[in-house]
Amino acid sequence: MPKYNLDSKELAEKYDELSESQLDNGKKLIERLGIANGQSVLDIGAGTGRLAFHVLEQIGPRGRLIGIDPLPERISIAVKNNRFPNAHFQVASAEDLSFIPSDSIDSVYLNAVFHWVPDKKKALEEIQRVLKPGGKVALTTGARELAHTACFRVVTDHVLSRKPYSSVVKLDEYVTARLGVTSTQLVELLLEAGLNVANIEIVSRRRRFSTGAQIVDFLESSTFGNYLSHVPLELRDQAREDIVAEFENRRTEDGIDFRTYTIFAIAEKKSSTP
Ligand SMILES: C[S@@+](CC[C@H](N)C(=O)[O-])C[C@H]1O[C@@H](n2cnc3c(N)ncnc32)[C@H](O)[C@@H]1O
């Protein structure tokens, strides 16, 4: 389970600054979702609101957007940066959307969020409930069956399987290790929630960073402090340094870059209940 009390103002600010590659994926997801002018939209796990601001440009002044996130520091940045009167940001989790009426939302999206949600079944039931008939949900998430290709985790595990970490760190306690889903499990979950799966694909792209320290900053801020929580406190600074050095070893003249594989899924609420 992720801990939600490890976040800080600094981590939230860092995420806002370093989340360009998540934003790029998010924009591609929104393109696939096909959000139209005037729609009502729910951004689940909105973080600091960068993708929501992009969506608000698309729905125009007649649309409305609700952005939720369980982390108060992230929501507070979204509120501070928001210039749109038709946007509302609040602290809440995917599993409890009780403040949103049933059949009221045209489009829901979760960008780089679903692997974090502890109760995925409940979250999808709630999404199904708040969507209008024919409304859509879109999400991006890592594919669990491709965990061995997930470069950030592979490099981290590589360092933590060496001394002095190997005897005290359990690699499968990496925070999202047990939370992620395979693409087949995702299809099953969407179907079980009563949604029609319109499209599911695994998208490959390159992500480039300028330094190893920037990658570790990104990992710490995007996991809201959970990244090295499985490493004993007294070894964490040293682990951070060793991981930075390991990423630096992979530098080419263009910087440090990796190929990543992300599930993009779109599902739809049935138009009428059978
Ligand atoms: C990597 S960030 C992605 C933020 C944003 N969607 C983006 O595209 O930049 C993951 C976000 O998921 C949120 N999150 C974690 N557990 C959640 C839950 N149960 N319900 C909703 N959001 C959750 C975190 O608080 C965090 O802001």
Cα dihedral value 8, 224, 267, 181, nearest 10: -160
Q: How does residue 274 score in pLDDT terms, banded at 50, 70 and 90?
A: low
Please tell me the distance from the alpha carbon of residue 66 to that of residue 71, in angstroms, as a whole number: 15
CA 101 to ligand 1 center in whole angstroms: 22
Tokens of 185: 């499990």
Q: What is the pTM of this model?
A: 0.97
Cβ–ligand 1 distance for 114 under 6 Å, the answer: no
What average pLDDT does the chain have?
Answer: 96
pLDDT at 111: 98
Distance 170 CA to ligand 1 centre (A): 25
State the architecture of 9-145+176-208+260-269 in CATH terms: 3-Layer(aba) Sandwich (3.40)
Cβ atoms of 258 and 206 within 8 Å: the answer is yes
207-222: average pLDDT: 94
The domain locations on the chain are 9-145+176-208+260-269
User: 42-53, pLDDT tens digit by residue?
Assistant: 999 999 999 999
Strand order in the sheet with 40-44: 87-91, 64-69, 40-44, 105-111, 131-142, 256-269, 195-209
> pLDDT tens digits for 107-156?
999 999 999 999 999 999 999 999 999 999 999 999 999 988 888 999 99
List, for residues 43-95, the tens digit of each pLDDT value.
999 999 999 999 999 999 999 999 999 999 999 999 999 999 999 999 999 99
Q: What is the percent of the chain where pLDDT is above 70? A: 99
Consecutive H or E run containing 20: helix 20-33
Mutation probe of ligand 1 site: the residue of 20, 116, 175 with most atoms within 8 A of C-beta: 116
The answer to whether the CB of 45 is under 6 A from ligand 1 is yes
221 half-sphere exposure, CB direction, 13 A CA radius: 23
Report the nearest atom of ligand 1 relative to the CA of 26. Answer: 8
In 3D space, the residue among 150, 137, 152, 166 whose CA is nearest the CA of residue 231 turns out to be: 166
CA of 14 to the centre of ligand 1 (A): 15
